[in-house]
Amino acid sequence: MRAYLLETNGYVTGYLAAHDTREHRRWDPTGGALRGGKDNTPRPRIILIWVADACRRQGVGATLVQALADDFGCQVTDGSWSAPVSDAGRRLARRVSPAGIWVS
């Protein structure tokens, strides 16, 4: 289990909790369709991501996802997201991985 806390000017602006897992499938966040079979590659899985309302659409979520990828040693597009993915999570996923995401 890993947790990331982003603080700006003494205020918590974002939080991400993750763990590593091996069960994933490709998912298109624009249409909601699963693509392809299961993948057993070890990947970091985002369990929870939260961004303060006042800080949304300012890159906080993308910064947290990048920190997770850097810590794991992979590209942002190789991370996995826990399903179901919220509407805000879908918007973030489309920004950081426009070709689709891994879900588990």
Question: How does pLDDT run along the chain (104 residues), one tens digit per residue?
Answer: 999 999 999 999 999 999 999 999 988 877 766 677 788 999 999 999 999 999 999 999 999 999 999 999 999 999 999 988 888 888 998 899 988 889 98
What is the model's pLDDT at position 28? Answer: 80
pLDDT number for residue 92: 92
Angle between helical axes of 60-72 and 87-96 (0-180°, round to 10): 60
In this prediction, residue 32 carries a pLDDT of: 66
Domains and CATH numbers, the chain: 2-103 (3.40.630.30)
Predicted TM-score (pTM) of this structure: 0.89
Model pLDDT, residue 35: 73
For residues 103 and 81, is the Cβ–Cβ distance under 8 A? yes
User: Tell me, what's the pLDDT at 7?
Assistant: 95
Round to whole Å and give the CA distance between 77 and 66: 10
CB-based contact 69:79 (threshold 8 Å) = yes
pLDDT at 5: 97
